[in-house]
């Protein structure tokens, strides 16, 4: 374990908050990244965040490689809102031009930066499919799909914005751990307002609770319902942290040119003291 301080940035994508570390020059040394995430993402005892994002040298012709670690230490394929924050960070620091390609374990992500408004292009890597399941004593008709490697279940839920937090927590956890999803899944509860407007709340695996916004969840929710003819591009997705925009094209039942847009803000920059992970 290294004993020196680590440069970092704290960023927020509509309340989805992230710790960013530029490790292109090996600043983390031999520190275990999963261990680091499990410590640094802990609120009150450390910095606190929804995920730890680590920037590395590109591997396949992109401008950088983005690694995503959940608070439980698990490395996942990518995060939509995090990719927007990483894009803004990379553009500001001169790591990449405003139009860039971010490599991830889920595949390449094209990003464009215009001030604090960031847009990324993602893809459907599995699904969509329909599922009937029981969870917490209720029957659900769910849709499931994977967005650039991130798995999502989508459930229509009336008056979702007014639903008690405890209900989202209970049902989200029950569906997240359902046997239908051996690797687990993120869970999106959504309500259609009209053909271009959606309200969404997301229970994220790894965080094991609701987050204020979820980018891949917004895309998954929109496409799951657009596939049924219930939504049309573009769609404004209202989350607890703000508004995300999702646009797409659909040709012969397949989705193309899938874009996620919204703000990404710098919160702080500084150094992480070794005591931040020594507990």
CATH class name, domain 6-116+265-276:
alpha beta
**pLDDT value at position 3?**
58
- Note the pLDDT tens digit of each residue in 15-67: 999 999 999 999 999 899 999 999 999 999 999 999 999 999 999 999 999 99
Q: Is the pLDDT of residue 233 over 70?
A: yes
2 has a pLDDT exceeding 70: no
Contact yes or no for 144/127 (Cβ under 8 A): yes
Q: In this predicted model, what pLDDT tens digit does every residue of 150-162 receive, in sequence order?
A: 999 999 999 999 9
Burial class (CB in 10 A: 0-12, 13-18, 19+), 44: exposed
Which residues on neighbouring strands pair with residue 194, listed in sequence order?
197
Question: pLDDT for 185-218, tens place per residue?
Answer: 999 999 999 999 999 999 999 899 999 999 999 9
Asked about 79 being catalytic, the answer comes back as yes
According to the model, what pLDDT value does residue 1 have?
A: 46
Domain ranges of the chain: 6-116+265-276, 124-263
Q: What is the pTM of this model?
A: 0.91
Architecture category of domain 124-263 in CATH: Roll (3.10)
> Would you say residue 143 has pLDDT above 50?
yes
Active-site option among 41, 79, 85, 180: 79
| Residue 275, burial from CB neighbour count under 10 angstroms (0-12, 13-18, 19+) | exposed
What is d(CA 205, CA 193) in angstroms, rounded to the nearest whole number?
26
The sign of the torsion formed by the CA atoms of 270, 112, 118, 33 equals negative
Decide: helix, strand or coil at residue 221.
helix
Same fold, 6-116+265-276 and 124-263: yes
State how beta strands 235-239 and 197-204 pair: parallel
Q: Which helix (H) or strand (E) holds 86?
A: helix 80-92
Checking 250-258 for CB contacts under 8 A at 24+ apart, the result is 250/226, 253/227, 254/124, 255/124, 255/223, 255/226, 255/227, 257/121, 258/121, 258/122, 258/123, 258/124, 258/147, 258/219, 258/223
- Provide the pLDDT for residue 4: 76
User: Would you state the structure tokens that stand for residue 76, as one six-digit string?
Assistant: 């996942």
**pLDDT tens digits along 59-101:** 999 999 999 999 999 999 999 999 999 999 999 999 999 999 9
């Amino acid at each position: 374990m290294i004993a020196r301080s680590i440069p970092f940035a704290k960023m927020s994508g509509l309340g989805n908050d992230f710790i960013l570390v530029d490790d292109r020059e090996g600043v983390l040394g031999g520190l275990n990244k999963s261990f680091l995430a499990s410590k640094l993402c802990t609120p009150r005892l450390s910095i606190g965040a929804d995920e730890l994002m680590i920037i590395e040298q590109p591997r396949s012709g992109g401008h950088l490689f983005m690694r995503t670690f959940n608070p439980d230490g698990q490395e996942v394929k990518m995060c939509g809102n995090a990719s927007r924050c990483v894009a803004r960070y990379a553009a500001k620091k001169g790591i990449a031009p405003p139009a860039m390609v971010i490599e991830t374990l889920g595949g390449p992500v094209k990003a464009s930066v215009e001030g604090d408004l960031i847009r990324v292009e993602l893809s459907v890597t599995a699904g969509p499919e329909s599922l009937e399941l029981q969870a917490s004593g209720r029957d659900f008709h769910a849709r499931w799909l994977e967005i650039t490697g991130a798995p999502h279940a989508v459930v229509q839920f009336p008056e979702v914005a007014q639903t008690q937090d405890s209900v989202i927590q209970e049902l989200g956890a029950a569906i997240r751990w359902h046997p239908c999803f051996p690797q687990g899944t993120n869970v999106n509860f959504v309500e259609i307002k009209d053909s271009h407007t959606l309200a969404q709340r997301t229970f994220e695996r790894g965080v094991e609770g609701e987050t204020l916004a979820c980018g891949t969840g917004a895309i998954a929710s929109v496409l799951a319902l657009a596939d049924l003819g219930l939504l049309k591009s573009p769609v404004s997705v209202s989350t607890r942290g703000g508004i995300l925009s999702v646009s797409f094209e659909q040709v012969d039942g397949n989705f193309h040119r899938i874009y996620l847009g919204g703000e990404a803000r710098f919160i702080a920059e500084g150094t992480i003291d070794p005591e931040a992970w020594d507990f």
